[in-house]
Structure 1
Amino acid sequence: MSLSELKFSTDKRPTPAFRANPTEKARSAVLASIAVQRTLLNSERTGTAHSITKTVKTVDTDGNVITNTVQRKPRKWWFTNPQGVFLIEVLFGGQPIAINGKQTAIEAGDLDGVEKVLTIIATAVGAGELDKVLADAKSKRKAGRPKKAS
């Protein structure tokens, strides 16, 4: 068989959605984080500890890249104020985002309220209602980074 016998095509490999559109990538990141928060909420109710498996790459003294899996405890989005009321801060890129443009904390009341707020936020993210807020948070995060030395 030679090259002249091959049938070539102009078709291109489809780009995955998370690479094609930064908005979709941000949405999927927040929705994945909400899923982790729901798991944390369930473990809080049952009194069990929850951890996430993370892959970490390190370089040894010989310059070889070693891949290890480690357990890490995810950061909770909710906390309680001095009166015992549960509040939630939605984190994107490790920073709280102001969903209404002003405040970052959302009152939930109790653990059931936390679940309701997470459901409302997940619905809003899926519908695209928070696209502008996520884009603003992403631009602020990028603006705050130091420039790489050339």
Structure 2
Amino acid sequence: MPVLKSLSFTALPKSTNDPVQQRRTKFINKLEEQKLLLNDPNHVRTVQRWTKVNGERQATTKQQAVRPWWKTDPSGQVVMSIKFGAKPIEFEKGKAGIAVPSKDKLPTVIDTLIAAVRAGELDELFSQAAKTGGIGKVRKAA
């Protein structure tokens, strides 16, 4: 046991299942994905799913397309919308878009949004979107 005496032991930290923090982390990952899509228009997300093959569960990987959250209008201005689920989040009544002068400025806008999510500035908008959008609710079959 002389080897173990050289180590210092401590209690394990409790794992937190904070839904707000999990929502922030998931949303930041989605924004980071948008930055990757901006750099590489052919970017695809790789997800792992469990499927039954010959009666046994087996992990399979699948490629998912990543859709851009921005559009360019005819005048050349870029408008970015933040999506929660499939619906864009409204920052003000009737205003769900962020005006960006050019596509070159999109990474700075995305970084600003990531900072806002980390600071918790969008938590209220996320909770409103979750209530109205039906995200996470189980639908019963008729």
TM category (shorter chain) comes to: 0.7 to 0.9
How many Å separate the matches in 2 of 1:124 and 1:39?
19
1:80/1:24 Cα in 2 relative to 1: closer, same or farther (>3 Å)? Answer: same
Q: What's the CA shift for 1:105?
A: 1.2
Counterpart residue number, 2:80: 88
TM-score (norm. length: structure 1): 0.74
Counterpart residue number, 1:41: 38
| Higher percent of residues as helix | 1
Write out aligned runs for 1:31-70 (5 A): 31-44=28-41, 49-60=42-53, 62-70=54-62
1:117 maps to 2:94 = no
1:76 aligned counterpart, secondary structure: coil
Counterpart residue number, 2:21: 24
How many Å separate the matches in 2 of 1:25 and 1:115?
23
Selected match of 1:98 from 82, 90, 94:
90
How many Å separate the matches in 2 of 1:115 and 1:23?
25
Segment of structure 1 superposing worse, 96-105 or 132-141? 96-105
Per-residue deviation, residues 47-103 of structure 1 (Å, max 9, x unmatched):
xx212211122234x432232112222111111122222111111223211123431
Counterpart residue number, 1:107: 99
How many Å separate the matches in 2 of 1:54 and 1:144?
19
CA RMSD of aligned residues (A): 2.4
Segment of structure 1 superposing worse, 109-118 or 131-140? 109-118
Decide whether the 8 Å contact of 1:77 with 1:90 is kept in 2: yes
1:72/1:146 Cα in 2 relative to 1: closer, same or farther (>3 Å)? Answer: closer
Decide whether the 8 Å contact of 2:90 with 2:96 is kept in 1: yes
How many Å separate the matches in 1 of 2:136 and 2:22?
20
Runs ≥4 residues deviating over 4 A: 143-146
Amino acid at match of 1:15: S
Aligned residues with identical type, % of pairs: 27
The number of equivalent residue pairs is 131
Q: Structure 2: which 5+ residue stretches go unaligned?
A: 1-10
